[in-house]
């Protein structure tokens, strides 16, 4: 329910205090509605909306079983003035240092247990306490990053809801939320002096480097993949940090070191920024279920071959049964007390205001908010992010686990806050260092994109012709309609399908089934694109968001020409962004090989029914001519044909344009030469030779050429997997160092 004006005015007074500019701006319902609309659009473009949920099985057989987790940004920020933030920052810094002291003791002398400051039975039985780390691991720092959830009580005091020390999440979301809010309210933020978050990624990068003695360490961020609840948080943060996002399968342990599987072999890793929880990090030691972790990782840590940030075992601080003891144990060890106290059970948080989560509601609502603050040890001192994320609590929510996926950007009013000073790390060029999994996802993403485009284009041509001339369905006694059904079935790789429906109804049924098949291909495309968002531009994310909306329409069996036109425009934009906004390194070449390979296979699929001549006397029928026109139009070549030949469509000229003409980028020759060029550019002679065989076979008659070239391309696709994606039994030599 929206608040009455008097209630809303009082809450605005409490939320934004004395600042009249901010108060006037946020009290405008029209502005709030506009901000909400833009925030929703921008978040979805970043993949934080519905882009990554409800996706199908991936090409490698793994399911992407992701439930819908839409993330919505409340356009009303949580505002904190400078004095309050400075007090909170000091208290958070103090608390992080205290927890570091406790961890050093818990995995070292254990004085807090020996002197009964902590209950030993509770500590040793805690799921997050790792006995294997006692005395065997001595990290430079247990806590590199730290997060704490705070709530403001009704009396105005701040209390701790929970400490987050294992794999603190939310920093990526915080930076993403600020990026979105900065785009929709930049003028207001500048006018009132909101503290900047822009350098905090540099602070974290320096903090990760400080965990090791290596001068220029290779750092990776390990995630559980798109199945992980915080994957968008992980992937966005990796992009901001400029470090490689990896999954467990990307890393391998050899000779007590961790190595990253790349296209050129394996490369040493010095620091693993751990965003996987401690109970999934190493299946050999913690008994985790699934394949998220890295076998042998903890052995490499104990041997000094790699550093984990945060250190394994830091998660014991999060145990809710031990939380009440930490302040007392810290006081016993150091004689100091903590300013921030734990919130009592059944707490009643003070009120905050939120924009209504319901579209069209012009009011604001009252509720409670949990504030997550982030701190990082940068090698010299602790830096606290001048902002954070506010999570809106639904009625009855446990503050530790808010059920509503609604966030608030946190504005700290204080342009004069001390800026972050970060020393510069040595410059390293990783353009040629591409993880094998990422390259595979780019390869399959482009293959799915190409087949999506081809099926959509063909369905669009057939649907448009039926719409313009319904009489086509009766040409040659229904022969044209049957041939169109054959083409659609070959393209969706289901030539054995048949329909019991009569006449034209059977063709419409095949168009509907093709719509379902396109939706599946789009799902595959979105899955792979989500896995490699760090390789794709922000604009690409927006195009993918529109493609995902088209997928929803196609799943409803609504195969209309306008919908297909929209999808084709987006697929053309996606192809253009791939060619014009992706750095043309090895990853791009492998992805483009996938695009050229699938374009060739799609054309071969269409040639089977498209070039068949069923008439016994060899005389061309109307169906034959009309089918050739569909084949040319579906491959963007009908206009070129008419401009070049200015005659009726002939089989020989069609074959020349679609098969052997290298100047036509949609032809087999054009696609194969493009693939051969990539193989030559990367020095892959075996691949170039295989494609050369396919080029030579183009001179064969169509009936013989199609199966011959398809067989060669199947061989080539297997060679691609063996060359770049198959994990070797023995690691390769990298830079003269043998494992």
| Those residues with Cβ within 8 angstroms of residue 478's Cβ, 6 or more apart along the chain or in another chain | 503, 504
Helices 586-610 & 702-720 angle (0-180, nearest 10):
150
Is it the case that residue 19 has pLDDT exceeding 90?
Answer: no
Assigned token pair, 309: 């940030």
Mean pLDDT of 314-339: 95
Q: For position 676, what pLDDT does the model report?
A: 97
Better-scored residue on pLDDT, 307 or 232: 307
For residue 501, what pLDDT is reported?
66
pLDDT at res. 497 = 59
For 351-401, what is the HEC assignment?
CEEEECCCCCCCCEEEEEEEEEEEEEECCCCEEECCCCEEEEECCCCECCE
Q: Is 55's pLDDT higher than 80?
A: no
pLDDT at 288: 60
What average pLDDT does the chain have?
A: 84
CA dihedral over 446, 448, 450, 452, signed as positive or negative = negative
d(CA 518, CA 596): 19
- Give me the residues paired with residue 271 across strands: 219, 307
* Residue 556 confidence class, pLDDT cut points 50, 70, 90: low
Angle at 244 between CA 243 and CA 248, to 5 degrees: 135
pLDDT band at residue 732 using 50, 70 and 90 as cut-offs: very low
Q: What is the structure's pLDDT at 433?
A: 72
Residue 352 — very low, low, confident or very high, per pLDDT cuts 50/70/90?
A: low
Between 125 and 153, the more confident residue is 125
Only one residue has tokens 């805690």, namely 126
Residue whose pair of structure tokens reads 């798109």 in the numeric block = 226
Identify the pLDDT of residue 291: 65
Of the candidates 734, 723, 53, 51, the residue with the CA atom closest to the CA atom of residue 443: 723
pLDDT at site 114 = 94
């Amino acid at each position: 329910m929206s608040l009455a004006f008097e209630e809303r005015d009082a809450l605005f007074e409490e939320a934004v205090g004395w600042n009249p500019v901010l108060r006037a701006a946020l009290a405008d319902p029209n502005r709030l509605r506009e901000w909400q609309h833009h925030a929703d659009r921008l978040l979805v473009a970043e993949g934080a909306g519905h882009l990554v949920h409800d996706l199908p099985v991936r090409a490698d057989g793994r399911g992407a079983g992701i439930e819908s987790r839409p993330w919505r940004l409340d356009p009303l920020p949580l505002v904190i003035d400078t004095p309050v933030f400075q007090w909170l920052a000091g208290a958070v810094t103090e608390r992080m240092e205290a927890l570091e002291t406790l961890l050093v003791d818990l995995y070292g002398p254990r004085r807090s247990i020996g002197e009964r400051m902590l209950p030993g039975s509770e500590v040793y039985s805690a799921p997050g306490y790792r006995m294997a780390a006692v005395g065997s691991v001595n990290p430079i720092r247990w806590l590199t990053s730290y997060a704490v959830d705070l709530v403001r009580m009704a009396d105005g005091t701040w209390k701790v809801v929970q400490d987050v020390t294992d794999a603190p999440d939310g920093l990526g979301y915080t930076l993403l939320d600020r990026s979105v809010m900065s785009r929709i309210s930049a003028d207001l933020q500048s006018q009132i002096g909101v503290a900047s978050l822009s350098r905090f990624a540099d602070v974290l990068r320096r903090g990760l480097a400080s965990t090791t003695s290596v001068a220029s360490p290779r750092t990776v961020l390990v995630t559980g993949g798109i199945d992980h609840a915080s994957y968008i948080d992980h992937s966005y943060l990796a992009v901001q940090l400029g470090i490689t996002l990896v999954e467990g399968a990307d890393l391998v342990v050899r000779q007590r070191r961790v190595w990253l599987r790349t296209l050129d072999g394996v490369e040493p890793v010095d620091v693993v920024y751990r965003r996987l929880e401690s109970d999934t990090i190493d299946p050999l030691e913690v008994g985790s279920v699934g394949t998220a972790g890295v076998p042998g990782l903890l052995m490499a840590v104990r041997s000094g071959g790699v550093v984990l940030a945060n250190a394994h075992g830091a998660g014991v601080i999060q145990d809710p049964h031990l939380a009440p003891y930490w302040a007392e144990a810290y006081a016993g060890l150091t004689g100091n007390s903590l300013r921030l106290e734990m919130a009592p059970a059944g707490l009643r948080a003070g009120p905050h205001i939120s924009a209504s989560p319901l579209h069209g509601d012009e009011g604001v609502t009252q509720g409670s908010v949990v504030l997550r603050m982030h701190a990082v040890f940068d090698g010299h001192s602790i830096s606290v992010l001048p902002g954070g994320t506010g999570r809106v609590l639904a009625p009855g929510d446990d503050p530790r686990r808010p059920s509503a996926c609604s966030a608030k950007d946190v504005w700290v009013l204080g342009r004069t806050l001390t800026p972050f000073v970060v020393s510069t790390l040595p410059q390293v060029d990783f353009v040629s260092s591409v993880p094998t999994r990422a390259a595979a996802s780019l390869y399959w993403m482009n293959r799915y994109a190409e087949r999506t485009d081809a099926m959509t284009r063909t369905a669009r041509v057939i649907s448009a012709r039926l719409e313009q001339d319904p009489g086509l369905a009766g040409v040659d006694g229904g022969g044209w309609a049957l041939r169109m059904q054959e083409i659609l079935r070959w393209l969706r790789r289901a030539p054995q399908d048949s329909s019991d429906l009569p006449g034209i109804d059977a063709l419409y049924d095949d168009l509907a089934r093709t719509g379902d098949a396109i939706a599946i291909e789009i799902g595959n495309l979105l899955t792979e694109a989500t896995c490699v968002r760090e390789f794709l531009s922000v604009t690409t994310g927006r195009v993918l968001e529109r493609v995902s909306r088209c997928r929803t329409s196609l799943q409803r069996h609504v195969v209309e020409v306008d919908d297909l036109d929209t999808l084709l425009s987006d697929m053309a934009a996606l192809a253009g962004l791939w060619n014009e906004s992706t750095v043309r390194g090895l990853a791009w070449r492998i992805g483009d090989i996938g695009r050229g390979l699938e374009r060739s296979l799609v054309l071969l699929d269409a040639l089977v029914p498209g070039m068949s001549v069923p008439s016994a006397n060899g005389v061309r029928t109307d169906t034959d001519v009309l089918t050739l026109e569909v084949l040319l139009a579906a491959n963007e070549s009908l206009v070129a044909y008419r401009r070049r030949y200015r005659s009726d469509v002939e089989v020989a000229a069609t074959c020349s344009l679609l098969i052997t003409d290298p100047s036509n980028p949609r032809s087999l020759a054009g696609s194969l030469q493009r693939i051969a060029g990539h193989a030559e550019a990367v020095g892959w002679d075996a691949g170039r030779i295989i494609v050369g065989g396919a080029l030579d076979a183009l001179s064969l008659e169509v009936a013989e050429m199609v199966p011959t070239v398809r067989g060669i391309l199947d061989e080539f696709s297997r060679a691609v997997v063996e060359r770049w994606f198959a994990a070797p039994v023995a690691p390769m030599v990298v830079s003269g160092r043998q494992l």
